[in-house]
Amino acid sequence: MGRCIVVTSGKGGVGKSTITATLGVALAEAGAKVALVDADVGLNNLDLVLGVESAVAYDVSDVEKGRCRLTEALVVHPFIENLSLLSSRALASGVSQRAFAAVISALRRGFDYILIDCPAGIDEGFHRAVSCADEALIVTTPVPASVRDADKVSDLLSAYRLRRVEVIVNRVRGDLVLKGEVLGVGDVGSVLRLPVVGSVPEDDEVLRSATVGKITDRESRHYRAICLIASHIMLGTSSLYDCTAKYRGILGLFRKRAR
Ligand SMILES: Nc1ncnc2c1ncn2[C@@H]1O[C@H](COP(=O)(O)OP(=O)(O)OP(=O)(O)O)[C@@H](O)[C@H]1O
Ligand SMILES: [Mg+2]
């Protein structure tokens, strides 16, 4: 039976969809069979982040209404055959909690990992996504407003029977961390009182890739940071990407000044 992990945040725009997509690629490239589920019903964009939007013919509401089978609604990534996406274009009213749970149960039988891209906020869509999951990854950026929302989400998650709740700190500016101008990854973990399992750098590569609808380059800092999270999920390792490394030493000094 596959493990179902919800990627959530509270605050919007912190990088949930980007992390869900890239983590899906990293897990799939490590040999796992992965299904990504866009639970941002009606405001879905995981198809765009993955660059498969033109291949989406059906979505989760079509499965619920019996207009297609689950296997027909799953879009297999054109270059990564063990990575599939279930989109959700329908309006929120179109997908019931029960139908969503049934779809996740069915996916558990065919996939090693099911990653659910949770909508921002803490209303119906959040609960629909979280109630199906075994584990949660809370994504936050290292700014107080985002950390506070992550804290609220962490409180809400305690009402669910989740095996693990862990944190990913995204968009970390290593140069500002070294100057002591922003929260470090450790500070975020202490505030949230949760284990931090991912430290992902702010990386212009993400924006470039998003613009042309592809996953970040495998050599990018972003992808390497996400691979460490994939390794944590699959093997239980606990290495965090060092977002400050680029700004240390002589070269780092120039990089810091150039920003
Ligand atoms: N590590 C990063 N470095 C640079 N840009 C990033 C990074 N992570 C995400 N972004 C950019 O931030 C923006 C928001 O990302 P994304 O859509 O993944 O967030 P989200 O949490 O899913 O948003 P929403 O709550 O609206 O669903 C996108 O333009 C994305 O390219
Ligand atoms: Mg999103």
Estimate to the nearest angstrom the gap between the alpha carbon of 97 and the chain centroid: 21
pLDDT tens profile 208-223? 998 888 888 999 999 9
∠ Cα 19 244 200 (to 5°): 5
Contacts with 56 (C-beta within 8 Å, 6 or more apart), sequence order: 47, 75, 85, 87, 89
- Among protein residues, the one whose CA lies closest to atom 31 of ligand 1: 207
Q: How do the domains of the chain map onto residue ranges? A: 3-258
Ligand 1 interacting residues, C-beta cut-off 6 A: 9, 12-18, 40, 120, 170-171, 200, 202-203, 206-207, 210, 222
Q: What is the DSSP letter of 12?
A: T
Best of 46, 118, 206, 259 to mutate for ligand 1, by most ligand atoms within 8 A of CB?
Answer: 206
The answer to whether the pTM exceeds 0.75 is: yes
Could you tell me which CATH class the domain 3-258 is placed in?
Answer: alpha beta
pLDDT tens profile 4-47? 999 999 889 999 999 999 999 999 999 999 999 999 887 889 99
pLDDT tens profile 113-154? 999 999 998 988 999 999 999 999 999 999 999 999 999 999
Token pair 């999951």 is found at 133
Q: Calculate the alpha carbon distances from 45 to 36, 116, 117 in Å.
A: 12, 13, 10
